[in-house]
Structure 1
C-alpha cells in the first residue's frame, strides 16, 4: 500500500505542501499529489457514465466517481510504485493520517475530535494537546513523514488484498503467506527476474 499523508486546515497548507514535496524530492523519493476539488456533477458525466478520461499530449486526466469505501483502491491504482502520496484536503476520509494547519487569527478552529487520524498540528502558535510543529519546521515535518510513513511502509510485508474494490484487512502472518505463495508462483516464469512489485487481478465469472 502506498502511504498517504493529508494536509487539512487553512490555505497556508498549500505552501507547506510545496516545501515538503521539495524536501522529499531532494531525498530521492517519488511523490504523488492528490488534490480535493469540487466539480459540478454534469462535468463528471456529460453522458450517463461513471468515469471520464482525457488523454492530452502524454498526460492522462481522469474524472471518476469515488467514495470513502474504495478510496484506498483508487490510491493503489493511480500511484502504484510511488513512495508517498501527499493529499491536499480529504478531511472526511477516515483512514488517511492527517496534519492540520492552523494560523492565529485566520484559522484557529481545530478539527481535533471531529475528524479521524489527526496525527499532528502545524501552527504559528503553541498547541497544548498532541504533537505540534511550527510553520517553519519544514525539515522536521519531512523527517517525521519519512520515518513514520515512508520507512514504515517499506518495512511492512507488502501484500494487499482488494475484493470488489474494498480493501480486506489481513494479519501479518496472512500477508506474509500470501506474498510468499505469489512470489513462488511467479519466480520460475520467464521475464520475471528481480521482480519487486507484482500485481494480479482475478475476475470470477459466475
Structure 2
C-alpha cells in the first residue's frame, strides 16, 4: 500500500492549488502520484472543465478518484470509510504516493494543513498533522511553508517518503488491515520472495505481489 499525505483546511482555502502544484513537481521528479479527493456532494460528475478532479488530471496525476458519500468517481458503489486501506490497496497499489484531499476525521493519516489568514482564524491542529501551508505565521512548532514554497514542500514530502526502500507488506482479512510487527513483515516478505524466485514466469522486475486466499465456509 502506498503512503498517503492528505491536505486539510477550510473550503476555498487553496488545498487544490497546493495539491495541483505538488502533483506537477513530484511527477516531474519521477514519482507516480495518485489523487484521492473526498466530497460532501452526492453527485459523481467530475469531467466538467475546471473541476478539482480535472485540474489534478491535467497536472499529471496517474489516478484521480472522487470519494463521495455514496459513490466513487468510477461510479462503483463506494465502500464504507473503514475500508480506506482496502481502497488504497485495490486501486492505488502501483503509486509511489497518494495525495489525498479532505478526510479530516481519519486520525491515522499524515496531514498537511492549508490555511489562509482571511479564512482560517486558527489552525485546525488535527491529529497527524505534519506541516502547515499558510500565508501568515501561525503559532505552531510544525514546519510552515508559504504558498509560493511548493518546491520546498515537495522536498519535505520526498524526504519523509524516503522513496520506500524497504518492501511494504500489508495483510488484509475480509477487507480490513491487520497490524504486523516488523519482524513478521520481514518474515512474510522473505518467505514469499524466496518462493517466487523458484517459479517460472515470474519477472525479477516485479513491483507488486498480491495473494488472495478464499477459505470455504465451515460446515455446521
Q: State the TM-score, normalized to the length of structure 1.
A: 0.83
- Which of residues 71, 87, 109 is equivalent to 2:122? 109
Identify, as 1 or 2, the structure richer in strand: 1
- Which of residues 159, 162, 176 is equivalent to 1:166? 176
- Which of residues 118, 131, 147 is equivalent to 1:135? 147
CA distance in 2 between partners of 1:150 and 1:6 (Å): 17
CA distance in 2 between partners of 1:18 and 1:98 (Å): 16
> Corresponding residue for 1:187?
197
- Which runs of structure 1 show a deviation greater than 3 angstroms over 4 or more consecutive aligned residues? none
- Greater shift in the superposed pair: 164-173 or 61-70: 61-70
Contact 2:37–2:101, Cα closer than 8 Å, also in 1: yes
Alignment of 1:1-206 (within 5 A): 1-10=1-10, 11=12, 12-40=14-42, 61-112=74-125, 115-131=126-142, 132-149=144-161, 151=163, 154-194=164-204, 195-206=206-217
CA distance in 2 between partners of 1:52 and 1:86 (Å): 19
Aligned residue for 1:147, secondary structure, equals helix
Q: Any stretches of 5+ residues in structure 1 without a counterpart? A: 44-50, 54-59
The alpha-carbon deviation at position 164 of structure 1 amounts to 1.1
CA distance in 1 between partners of 2:71 and 2:168 (Å): 31
CA distance in 2 between partners of 1:9 and 1:76 (Å): 26
- Greater shift in the superposed pair: 100-109 or 28-37: 100-109
Aligned residue for 1:199, secondary structure, equals coil
CA distance in 1 between partners of 2:199 and 2:20 (Å): 42
Q: State the TM-score, normalized to the length of structure 2.
A: 0.78
Give the number of equivalent residue pairs.
188
Deviations 1:9-52 (A, max 9, x none): 142111111111110011011110111123449x9xxxxxxx97
CA distance in 2 between partners of 1:89 and 1:163 (Å): 26
Deviations 1:51-80 (A, max 9, x none): 978xxxxxx814333333220111111111
CA distance in 2 between partners of 1:185 and 1:205 (Å): 25
Aligned residue for 1:64, secondary structure, equals coil
Deviations 1:141-167 (A, max 9, x none): 10111110252xx13331111111111
The alpha-carbon deviation at position 196 of structure 1 amounts to 3.1
Q: CA RMSD in A?
A: 2.1
